[in-house]
Amino acid sequence: MAPILPLLSGLLSLAVFSHSAVAAPATEALNKPHDNNTYEYIVVGSGPGGGPIAANLAKAGHSVLLLEAGDDQTQNVNVSQWTNFLLSGNDPATRWDFFVKHSDDEARESRYIRTTWRKPDGGFYVGLDPPAGSKRLGIYYPRAGTLGGCAMHNGCLTMNPNDLDWDDIARITGDESWSAKNMRKYLVKLENAHYNSTSPHGHSGWLDTTMLDSGFSSNPDAKTMIELASQASGFQISEASDLQQRDMNGDQANRDSLVGPFGGVSHIKPDGRRSSPGYYVKETVDAGKYPLTLQLESLVTKVIFDKGDTPKAIGVEYLKGKSLYSADPRSNPNDKGTPGKAYASKEVIISGGAFNTPQILLLSGIGPKAQLKKFDIPVIVDNPDVGRNLADNYESSMLSLAARDVNGPGQIFPSFFKTTVGKIRDIYMWCGGFSFEGFWPGFPQDHGPKQYECAIVHMNPRSQAGSVTLQSANPRDVPNINLQFFKDGSEKDLQAIYEATSWVRSWLGKAPTTAGSIGPFTEMHPCEGVVGSQNCTVESQKTYIKEQAYSHHATSSCRIGEVLDSKFRVKGVKGLRVVDASSFPKVPGGFPVLPTMMLSEKATEDVLADAKKY
């Protein structure tokens, strides 16, 4: 395969092209010096889990040190303007480059079309025919190494999971505070909703949420497609206008069974600026009246324990310096960083995300005994589940080309779908004139102004066999990550994605085909040909889905139940919690960013309830 050009999708026609934008200098807002560098709480990581809890604890009057390995890119327009999110995902100032495996099947891995290689000259090659001497890196999985974490480079889609997702945690733990009914109060608490809804919402929280314009009233193509999807969902065409404004974060009765088009809620301000934990942290620090210390460019290397009868976390060790983690494309191995330590009189809270949190725990001596001994790491707690049970939603797409240019390429509408193998709605998708086929350096590929896609997210995947393991005892090295896609329950999961793709095809094939109309559509994958006239087997489509599925919603590598109790406390030690997406027993809904922020609000309550014990 020829090298894939790093072309940007039609979505970027809306964006401000700003690769040359220079971010504001990294800033550190430090409050009064603390004796012996001791704080009540240390929070590691400023993303959707760590950022909010650090700010919340400081607002409750507790001294907090927030350590972030990245710098401050909040003024970088690739970040601040949400329509630039694809640019942000490719921006070396914000990204951390992880490369993962999808399975142990090397033959299957070798057929992944977007496989990334390191060329002899140091650059990337994407494809299946690399230059001689290239080294296979694997499947690209970008993360954000910056203040605010992955909420600073995502597409801002903001969805409260199905109620069953929350109720399952309550059932697993026996802790009713995890019920969907109770968890909704954290959504209301954190949000500042700028849209109308029949459901009660918060309007004074730190996270701005806005319902995006689908183009239904102004764009004939958008109107046509939403009407077709509405009809295919069992509604009348006359109901499409109301359907595309439904609140996906509402508290409607029987919401887990509601299908068809919805309004797209996003964590952005009405003026198009991104809203995220990074800005919440900045605002809290800049207020100058809360005991929050933000220390950037500080890579935490391990947790420090007081090794009594039950070890207690009393601080962390870190390296101070720019771009020290090797996943940072700007990293230089010759920059060693400056070692430092900080201490917590109450608790250490790890919020590094599904990849870095288990790495920190393992480096600190919490994890499978055999793995720790392999790298001569003293064992604090032998817990075989640290870094195990890694889960991720499966993502695929039905990509096609219209008969003519698509009007309003950036106007997108989301929709829910229930397959025959799901007990509740198990597919979330968003459709519009764009191209998104996964991640690789320079993603996405622009297929021109005729491109039209429904990106498909399979919620509640049945396999949680993925793993995060140490590559070495060097905290600057990335861990080994194997997602083990489709290892368990593959028959039902592949059937679900196949049904979702077929459903899209069913209504796409009904688009008008008269002269000048948007139809007919020609499908590019997973079944090539004019929609309605293809001759692909079910098996060939499932094979394509299995081998080319992608993801970016990793969770559960330190999940509640095995590694944590229901209050986020790490089992076997004192004074240590994990508050991030790695905590979830399974992937929550279609997009973990909002549920992780909700989780952070809940964790704040749990931490404050225990504060008087210290």
Which segment of 18-22, 258-262, 479-483 scores lowest on mean pLDDT? 18-22
Averaged pLDDT for residues 64-79: 97
Q: Is the pLDDT of residue 3 over 70?
A: no
The answer to whether the beta carbons of residues 329 and 92 sit under 8 Å apart is yes
The answer to whether the beta carbons of residues 575 and 347 sit under 8 Å apart is yes
Beta carbons within 8 Å of 309's beta carbon, 6+ residues apart: none
Averaged pLDDT for residues 405-434: 94
Residue that has been written with the tokens 């239904």 in this structure: 216
Q: Is the pLDDT of residue 12 over 60?
A: no
Beta strands in 59-101 (DSSP E): 64-67, 95-100
Q: How many helices (H) and strands (E) does the chain have?
A: 14, 25
Domain boundaries, the chain: 26-103+140-210+276-386+555-614, 211-273+391-548
Q: Is the pLDDT of residue 13 over 50?
A: no
87/508 Cα distance (integer angstroms): 29
User: Given pLDDT bands bounded at 50, 70 and 90, which one contains residue 34?
Assistant: low
378/234 Cα distance (integer angstroms): 60
Model pLDDT, residue 26: 34
DSSP state of 391: B
Q: Is the pLDDT of residue 30 over 50?
A: no
Which tokens belong to 3? 């090298």
208/216 Cα distance (integer angstroms): 23
Residue with more model confidence, 411 or 257:
257
Q: How far apart are the first and last CA of the chain?
A: 61
Residue type, 252: Q
Task: Identify the architecture of domain 211-273+391-548 in CATH.
Answer: 2-Layer Sandwich (3.30)
The residue among 206, 205, 225 whose CA lies nearest residue 214 is 225
Beta carbons within 8 Å of 181's beta carbon, 6+ residues apart: none
Helix or strand (DSSP H, E) at 211: strand 207-212
When the pLDDT of each residue in the chain is averaged and rounded to a whole number, the result is 94
The residue among 144, 154, 122 whose CA lies nearest residue 135 is 122
> With pLDDT > 90 as the criterion, what percentage of the chain qualifies?
92
Q: Is the pLDDT of residue 238 over 80?
A: yes
**Tens of pLDDT along 97-154?**
999 999 999 999 999 999 999 999 999 999 999 999 999 999 999 999 999 999 999 9
Averaged pLDDT for residues 202-216: 97
pTM: 0.94
Alpha helices in 452-533 (DSSP H): 490-508
Averaged pLDDT for residues 243-260: 97
Residue type, 352: G
Superfamily of domain 26-103+140-210+276-386+555-614: FAD/NAD(P)-binding domain (3.50.50.60)
Model pLDDT, residue 507: 98
52/614 Cα distance (integer angstroms): 22
Residue 129: other Cβ atoms inside 10 A = 10
Averaged pLDDT for residues 211-231: 96
The answer to whether the beta carbons of residues 127 and 2 sit under 8 Å apart is yes
